[in-house]
């Protein structure tokens, strides 16, 4: 199975005044195509820092990070933006939907930025909204949607451009238990259809759906 993500001795340090503060320390793991992986850890373990690097929002201080065979560790900001736009679908805890746009328009937006033609945009958006059972809500704005519908819209926006990996940051953190179960069923179905999914979470219920769980402790992967 080909690897979508590979890290080799990934480290991230921050400067606090003149003091160097290590946050990630020699992190090594691989995510194969079609894997469903959960990353867990206590507050301060380094999950957010790792998420920013995996999502090409930040670069490591040292070590190697490859996504679909591309070494992104030392890329410029413009190149990182290109990787984010083409390879990664983000799902956020707070949904990050634009309030003035309809559900349909929110999901269509990444395709507009990607210069996808109107006919292809229409086809792709309709496909993912029907897949996630929110086609009938397509003309509603975010304030007219339930929490579960907002998260389904966020997932639709993430997958509409067929990314190499779906990167989800605490995707059920703001949802009740019933809606959490519904959203986890969505992720399970996406995984069964061959999508590669990596979820940052502190919830055991979420991790239980994953094939593999990576535990971070003080910036290192726990044995």
pLDDT attached to residue 178: 87
- Please report the domains of the chain, with CATH numbers, ordered by start residue: 3-221 (3.40.50.300)
pLDDT attached to residue 99: 95
Contact yes or no for 59/71 (Cβ under 8 A): no
Backbone angles phi, psi at 10, to 5 degrees: -70, 125
The secondary structure element, H or E, covering residue 47 is helix 47-54
User: What does the alpha-carbon distance between residue 92 and residue 171 come to, in Å, rounded to a whole number?
Assistant: 6
Q: Which residues of the chain have pLDDT under 50?
A: none
Contact yes or no for 38/214 (Cβ under 8 A): yes
pLDDT digits (tens, 9 = 90+) for 6-32: 999 999 999 888 888 899 999 999 999
DSSP-derived secondary structure letter, 156: H
pLDDT digits (tens, 9 = 90+) for 181-208: 888 998 998 899 889 999 999 889 889 9
- Strand positions, DSSP E, 33-130: 36-40, 62-67, 70-71, 88-92
pLDDT attached to residue 223: 67
Secondary-structure percent of the chain, ordered helix, strand, coil, rounded to 5: 35, 30, 35
pLDDT attached to residue 42: 87
- Concatenated DSSP letters of 182-205: HHHHHHHHHHHTT--EEEE-S-HH
Contact yes or no for 165/31 (Cβ under 8 A): yes
DSSP-derived secondary structure letter, 76: -
What pTM was computed for the model? 0.88
pLDDT attached to residue 102: 97
pLDDT attached to residue 76: 86
């Amino acid at each position: 199975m080909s690897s979508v993500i590979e890290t080799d001795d990934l480290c991230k340090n921050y400067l606090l005044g003149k003091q160097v503060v290590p946050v990630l320390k020699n992190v090594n793991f691989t995510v194969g195509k079609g894997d469903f992986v959960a990353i867990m850890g206590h507050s301060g373990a380094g999950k957010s820092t790792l998420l920013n690097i995996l999502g090409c929002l930040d670069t490591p201080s040292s070590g190697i990070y490859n996504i679909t065979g591309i070494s992104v560790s030392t890329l410029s900001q413009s190149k990182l933006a290109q990787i984010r736009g083409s390879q990664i679908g983000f799902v956020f805890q707070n949904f990050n939907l634009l309030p003035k746009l309809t559900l349909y328009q929110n999901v269509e937006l990444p395709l507009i930025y990607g210069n996808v033609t109107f006919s292809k945009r229409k086809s792709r958006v309709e496909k993912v909204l029907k897949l996630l059972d929110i086609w009938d809500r397509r003309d509603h704005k975010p304030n007219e949607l339930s929490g579960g519908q907002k998260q389904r819209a966020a997932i639709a926006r993430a997958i509409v451009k067929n990314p190499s990996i779906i990167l989800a940051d605490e995707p059920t953190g703001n949802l009740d238990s019933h809606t959490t179960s519904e959203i986890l069923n969505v992720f399970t179905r996406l995984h069964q259809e061959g999508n590669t999914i990596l979820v940052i979470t502190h919830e055991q219920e979420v991790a239980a759906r994953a094939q593999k769980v990576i535990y971070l402790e003080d910036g290192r992967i726990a044995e």
